[in-house]
Chain A
Amino acid sequence: MEGPKPKLKLAVYWAAACGGCCVSVLDVHEKLFDVIAAADFVFWPIALDIKYKDVEEMPDNHIDLTLFNGAVRNSENEHMAKLLRKKSRILVAYGSCSHLGGIPGLANFSTKEDIFHRVYKECESVINPENIRPLSEYEVQEGILELPVFYNDVRSLAQIVEVDYYIPGCPPQTERLIEVFVAIVTGAELPPKGSVIGAETKAQCDECIRKKTENKRIKKFYRPWEISDDGETCFMEQGVLCMGPATRAGCGYRCIKGNAPCRGCYGPSSDVTDPGAKMMSAIASIIDEKEPEEIKRVLEDIVDPAGVFYRFSLPSSLIRRKLS
Chain B
Amino acid sequence: MKRITIDPITRLEGHGKIEIFLNEDGEVNNVYFQVPELRGFEKFCEGRPV
Contact = CB atoms under 8 A, between A and B. Distances in A.
Interface of A: 14, 16, 19, 22, 45-53, 73-74, 76, 104, 106-107, 109-110, 114-115, 118-119, 123, 134, 140-143, 145, 147-148, 150, 223, 303-304, 307-308
B38 A134 contact: yes
Nearest to B32: A145
A48 B44 contact: no
Interface string B4-44: 00111011111100010100000001101010111110111
A74 B32 CA distance: 20
Interface of B: 1, 3, 6-8, 10-15, 19, 21, 29-30, 32, 34, 36-40, 42-49
A47 B42 contact: no
B35 to A, nearest CB: 8
B39 A73 contact: yes
* Most chain A CB neighbours (cut-off 10 Å) among B13, B30, B32, B37: B37
Contacts of A52: 7-8
Contacts of B6: 51
Nearest to B29: A142
A304 B50 CA distance: 11
A143 B36 contact: no
Nearest to A51: B7
Contacts of A115: 38, 40, 42-44
A147 B36 contact: yes
The 5 A-B pairs with the shortest beta carbon distances in the complex, nearest first, are A115-B40, A118-B43, A142-B21, A19-B13, A303-B49
Given A49-B10, A110-B43, A143 B32 contact: no
A141 B23 CA distance: 12
Most buried by A among B3, B12, B29, B43: B43
Contacts of B44: 104, 106-107, 109-110, 115
Given A123-B42, A304-B49, A308-B49, A148 B29 contact: no
Contact of A223 (B45, B46, B48, B49): B49
B14 A307 contact: no
25 contacts: A14-B15, A19-B14, A45-B11, A46-B11, A47-B10, A51-B6, A51-B8, A53-B7, A74-B38, A104-B44, A107-B39, A107-B40, A107-B43, A109-B44, A115-B43, A118-B43, A119-B38, A134-B38, A140-B32, A142-B29, A145-B32, A223-B49, A304-B49, A307-B48, A307-B49
A107 B12 CA distance: 25
A140 B20 CA distance: 12
A48 B10 contact: yes
Nearest to A110: B43
